[in-house]
């Protein structure tokens, strides 16, 4: 799947495999089985839809995110919607042990930019001598 980055317009080819592929499959199945009476296809081809099957707009998504964060008891200053991108970059760098993997996923042209996003909350990784 090709994704065009909003700011830089860089194109990133995102491989859809593993848990992501399974999740997208479950969403597609749910959307096709939960159709309103008399409807043969979903209202929207968008990935994220509301209970009626209509596309979920930016404001509605933001409202749901804020409500979930409040329900979890997390202060707004501790975790914001934009932090999801940094979290994804950090997880990718940690799992691959290579910041260049995160750079490719985030679509950055420079590793320096990726270093701003990747968080070092876990500390350095080290192995024992023996």
Higher pLDDT: 127 or 104? It is 104
In this structure, how many other beta carbons lie within 10 angstroms of the beta carbon of residue 86?
16
Higher pLDDT: 115 or 29? It is 115
Stretch 12-36: mean pLDDT, rounded? Answer: 82
pTM: 0.62
Question: CA separation (Å) from 90 to 43, 67, 99, 129?
Answer: 35, 25, 8, 27
């Amino acid at each position: 799947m090709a994704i065009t980055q909003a700011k830089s317009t860089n194109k990133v080819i995102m491989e859809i495999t593993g848990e992501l592929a399974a999740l997208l499959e479950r969403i597609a199945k749910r959307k096709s089985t939960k159709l309103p009476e008399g409807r043969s296809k979903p209202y929207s081809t968008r990935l994220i839809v509301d209970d009626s099957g209509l596309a979920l707009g930016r404001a509605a998504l933001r409202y749901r995110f804020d409500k979930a964060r409040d329900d979890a008891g997390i202060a707004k200053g501790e975790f914001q919607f934009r932090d999801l991108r940094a979290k994804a970059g950090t997880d990718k760098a940690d799992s691959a042990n290579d910041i260049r993997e995160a750079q490719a996923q985030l679509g950055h042209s420079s590793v320096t930019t990726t270093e701003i996003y990747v968080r070092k909350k876990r500390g350095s990784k080290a192995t024992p001598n023996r």
